[in-house]
């Protein structure tokens, strides 16, 4: 029997890691290198068909977490899953992801999440070393190297998340 599910999915991370670009690549298939800082939450929708299950994703593209401007807990509540986005060229964004992860755990509990190490097209300029990535993986974080620019692993990331939500 086919099922239709509505799920809220949050994208979380420091500012300018590529959250908005990943959504834009996934939903509209486009990328722009112009940076426009997100205010509040940008809402988008996309459906994924996984065998006989349709997952309607409500994508909450949240503004970047900053020390002076934290992501409000109200945005987090009700999430069925989330993507933690890290910018490989800025290793400080790993700390931000850790912080957000801890807060998500406190707000919504043990829901599925996938960690995106974004801007893999700029791998030459990465500040994050292979050892850093290994450390992150050792924490049990499922990581995917993505690029909103080339589209690498973008759809795969959302599919992976959807898979976990219906499991």
Partner 1 sequence: MPEPLLNYLAEMQIYRLSPAWAKLDEACHCIVECGGDWSNFDDDIAVHRGAVVEESFIYLCGQSFDEPFLLPQMEFKENRFTNVHFFRAESIAWLLFLDVTEQTLMQQLQQQNANELSLLRDQQRRVLDRYVGGAVTERSIEGRLTFDAAGERRNISTMFIDLRSFTIFNQKYDPQHVMDVLNQYMNKMLPPILDEFGLVDKITGDGAMTVFGVLNEQEDSALLAFRAALRIQREISTMNDLRRQQGDYIMDVGIGIGSGEAVLGILGAHDRRAFTVIGPHVNLAARLEGEAKGGEILADETTFLTVQHLIDSHECRSIELKGIGASQVYNLRYSK
Ligand X SMILES: Nc1nc2c(ncn2[C@@H]2O[C@H](COP(=O)(O)OP(=O)(O)O)[C@@H](O)[C@H]2O)c(=O)[nH]1
Task: Verify binding: residue 118, ligand X, rule CB under 6 A.
Answer: yes
Residues 30 to 59 in contact with partner 1, rule: CB under 8 A: 35-43, 45, 56, 58
Tokens of 12: 């979380």
Q: Which helix (H) or strand (E) holds 134?
A: helix 130-138
* From 9, 11, 20, 44, residue interacting with Mg ion (rule: CB under 5 A): 20
| Residue 32 or 56 with smaller CB distance to ligand X | 32
Of the candidate residues 149, 161, 162, 165, the single one contacting ligand X (CB under 6 A): 149
Output the CA torsion sign for 27, 33, 36, 39. positive
Residue 119 in the binding site for ligand X (CB under 6 A) = yes
Question: What is the number of the residue whose Cβ is closest to ligand X?
Answer: 18
Number of alpha helices (DSSP H) and beta strands (DSSP E) in the chain: 5, 6
Phi-psi sector, 40: left (phi>0), alpha (psi -120 to 50), beta: left
Q: Please report whether residue 7 would count as binding partner 1 according to CB under 8 A.
A: yes
Strand intervals (E) in the chain: 3-13, 41-50, 53-62, 81-87, 113-118, 143-145
Stretches 30-38, 52-60, 130-138, 155-163: which one binds ligand X (CB under 6 A)? Answer: 30-38
Residues binding ligand X (CB under 6 A): 13, 15-21, 32-33, 35, 38, 64, 118-119, 121-122, 147-149
Residues binding Mg ion (CB under 5 A): 19-20, 38
């Amino acid at each position: 029997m086919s099922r239709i599910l509505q799920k809220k999915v949050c994208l979380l991370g420091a500012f300018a890691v590529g959250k908005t670009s990943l959504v834009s690549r996934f939903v509209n298939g486009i990328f722009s290198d112009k940076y426009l800082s997100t205010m509040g939450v940008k809402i988008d929708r996309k459906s994924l068909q996984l065998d006989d299950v349709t997952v309607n994703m409500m994508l909450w593209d949240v503004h970047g977490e900053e020390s002076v401007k934290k992501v409000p807990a109200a945005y987090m509540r009700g999430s069925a899953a989330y993507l933690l986005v890290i910018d490989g060229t800025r290793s400080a964004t790993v700390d931000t992801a850790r912080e957000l992860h801890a807060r998500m755990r406190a707000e919504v509990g043990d829901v599925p999440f996938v960690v995106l190490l974004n801007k893999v097209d700029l791998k030459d300029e990465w500040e994050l070393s292979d050892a850093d990535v290994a450390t992150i993986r050792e924490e049990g974080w499922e990581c995917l190297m993505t690029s909103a620019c080339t589209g690498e692993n973008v759809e795969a990331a959302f599919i992976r998340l959807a898979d976990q939500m219906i499991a």
